[in-house]
Chains A and B, each alone.
Chain A
Amino acid sequence: MTFSDVMTLISNWAIPLVVALVCFWAILKKVPVYSIFTEGAKEGFSTAVMIIPYLTAMLCAIGMFRASGAMDWLCAILDPVTSLIGCPSEILPQAIMRSFSGGASEGMLADLLAQYGTQSKIGRIASVAQGSTETTFYIIAVYMGSVGVSNARHSVAAGLLGDLGSLLAAVAIVNIMWF
């Protein structure tokens, strides 16, 4: 078995195992699992519906941008930089957006997945980069704002370097595991 086989195996087992263990543990704790599950699922429904407008706005704009040929120009400009680290330049717009807007970067990820496939290099790197970090500016604005702190000192810089770290890690891991 190769390294990537093992990783894939763990990825395949993770969710079913977690689902089974959580439910078993919960029933031991006398939690009414079924009704709690459906109650939570209702929240999931509204979360998914909530992102439809953002997804539509972003996907249509990106779709226009892509069809016009402007995306090709942007990628041609970015390519010399990103190819140095083995990252397809198509990902960069999404990676930059990741720090600013969760909804918009999710839209861009959806576009990359639909365009290139979920198991393409682009689709995999974009998925890993999207999942491994949070929307830096949003988090800082919400939490610092909630207590009236206006001088966030080094937290923006640290957060953005973390985002960069997640992108580089995503590129490295995907290249090692699959390509």
Chain B
Amino acid sequence: MMNYIWVGLVVIAVIAGAFTGTMEGVLNNIFDFANTAVEISLGLIGIMAFFCGLMKVMQEAGICDKLAKGIAPVMTRLFPEVPKDHPAMSAMALWIAANMLGIGNAATPFGLKAMRELQTLNPTKSIATNAQCMMLAIGTTSVTLLPVTVLGLRAAVQTDGAAEIIVPVIIATTISTVVGIVFTLIFQKTKRWKWENVIEKEIAAGTLELNEHYAGGENPIVLPEGYVCKYAEEE
């Protein structure tokens, strides 16, 4: 994907440059922008180092856990299928909290753990549950209090007014997350994406596999008699 975009940009630039007679500008920009890239990156190092230092202090001081506890009441409403004291809940809360604080590196392990825990509540092997979709709706729209990289890039170009976008970002990220959550709630009831309908469709296509590690007691999905999964046969 990125291959095509990048090659497309370069090739189109050269063709367009040939047509408009701006090849010299195209050439100069290779050198200029290579310089700019390194200048910006070098400027970024200091700011990234500072904020990552601060993030580490937040983490060590247990601020992440505090925040996770704070958002717990909201979590139970967003994830009605997940039992309140299930380990998935605390892992997700930590993941969201770490994302809020901008601790990207620390967030990923929490997120992976949360996903693994949610998978134990998934009756199927390969179809995302409502809870998994909701978790990723929150993740992909992000809830950021400190947009560290953007701050860094802005400050690398110009220190003055670099931080002016903090409040706008907090407002915009809240809006985007609300949009993501609302559409997830709407979509999970639509004909096309409803859990029961997706299961039915996959049974009909013979692609449904049950999750052998389902931890919620007896598997609620009853397969029709004589059902054989396509993938099971191949093995």
Q: Which residues of B contact A142 (CB under 8 A)?
A: 108
Residues B50 and A52 in contact, CB atoms below 8 Å apart: no
Q: How far is the CA of A106 from the CA of B112 in the complex (A)?
A: 24
Q: How far is the CA of A44 from the CA of B47 in the complex (A)?
A: 8
Residues B166 and A11 in contact, CB atoms below 8 Å apart: yes
Give the contacting residue for A162; candidates B37, B55, B177; CB below 8 A. B177
Give the B interface residue count (CB, 8 A): 106
Binds B, one of A32-40, A75-83, A84-92: A32-40
Give the contacting residue for A134; candidates B55, B122, B142, B172; CB below 8 A. B142
Binds A, one of B76-84, B145-153, B219-227: B145-153
Q: How far is the CA of A33 from the CA of B15 in the complex (A)?
A: 55
Residues B141 and A166 in contact, CB atoms below 8 Å apart: yes
Interface residues of A in 2-18 (CB under 8 A from B): 7-8, 10-12, 14-15, 18
Q: Does B200 contact A (CB under 8 A)?
A: no
Q: Which residues of A contact B58 (CB under 8 A)?
A: 22, 26
Interface residues of A in 141-178 (CB under 8 A from B): 142-144, 146-155, 157-159, 161-166, 169-170, 173-174, 177
Residues A166 and B12 in contact, CB atoms below 8 Å apart: no
Q: Which residues of B contact A162 (CB under 8 A)?
A: 137, 140-141, 176-177, 179-180, 183
Interface residues of B in 1-59 (CB under 8 A from A): 1-2, 5-6, 9-10, 12-17, 20, 22, 25-26, 28-30, 32-34, 36-38, 40-41, 44-45, 48-58
- The closest CB in chain A to the CB of B130 belongs to A153
Q: Does B163 contact A (CB under 8 A)?
A: yes
Residues A45 and B33 in contact, CB atoms below 8 Å apart: no
- The closest CB in chain B to the CB of A32 belongs to B60
Residues B168 and A166 in contact, CB atoms below 8 Å apart: no
Q: Does B61 contact A (CB under 8 A)?
A: yes
Residues B115 and A131 in contact, CB atoms below 8 Å apart: no
B70 CB to nearest chain A CB (Å): 15
Residues A48 and B152 in contact, CB atoms below 8 Å apart: yes
Q: How far is the CA of A123 from the CA of B164 in the complex (A)?
A: 12
Give the contacting residue for B60; candidates A36, A97, A113, A134; CB below 8 A. A36
Give the dominant DSSP class at A's interface.
helix
Give the contacting residue for B149; candidates A25, A65, A106; CB below 8 A. A106
Q: How far is the CA of A109 from the CA of B162 in the complex (A)?
A: 14
Residues A64 and B9 in contact, CB atoms below 8 Å apart: yes
Give the contacting residue for A59; candidates B10, B36, B118; CB below 8 A. B36
Which of B60, B105, B158, B190 has the most A CB atoms < 10 Å from its CB? B60
Residues A68 and B16 in contact, CB atoms below 8 Å apart: yes
B195 CB to nearest chain A CB (Å): 8
Residues B12 and A148 in contact, CB atoms below 8 Å apart: no
Q: Which residues of B contact A131 (CB under 8 A)?
A: 144, 147, 149-151, 165, 169, 172-173
Residues B41 and A166 in contact, CB atoms below 8 Å apart: no
Q: How far is the CA of A64 from the CA of B45 in the complex (A)?
A: 26
Contact sample, A vs B, 19 pairs, CB 8 Å cutoff: A10-B166, A11-B167, A18-B54, A39-B53, A40-B54, A43-B105, A44-B50, A45-B48, A67-B13, A68-B22, A68-B25, A114-B40, A131-B151, A132-B173, A136-B140, A149-B132, A151-B128, A151-B198, A162-B183
Chain A residues with a Cβ under 8 A of chain B: 7-8, 10-12, 14-15, 18-19, 22-23, 25-26, 29, 31, 33, 36-45, 47-49, 51-52, 55-70, 73, 97, 100-101, 104, 106-107, 109-111, 113-114, 117-119, 123-124, 127-136, 139-140, 142-144, 146-155, 157-159, 161-166, 169-170, 173-174, 177
Task: Return the 3 tightest CB-CB contacts between A and B, nearest first.
Answer: A40-B56, A44-B52, A131-B147
Other A-B pairs beyond A67-B26, A127-B165, 11, CB < 8 Å: A15-B163, A37-B54, A40-B52, A48-B41, A61-B13, A66-B29, A68-B12, A113-B157, A114-B36, A127-B147, A165-B176
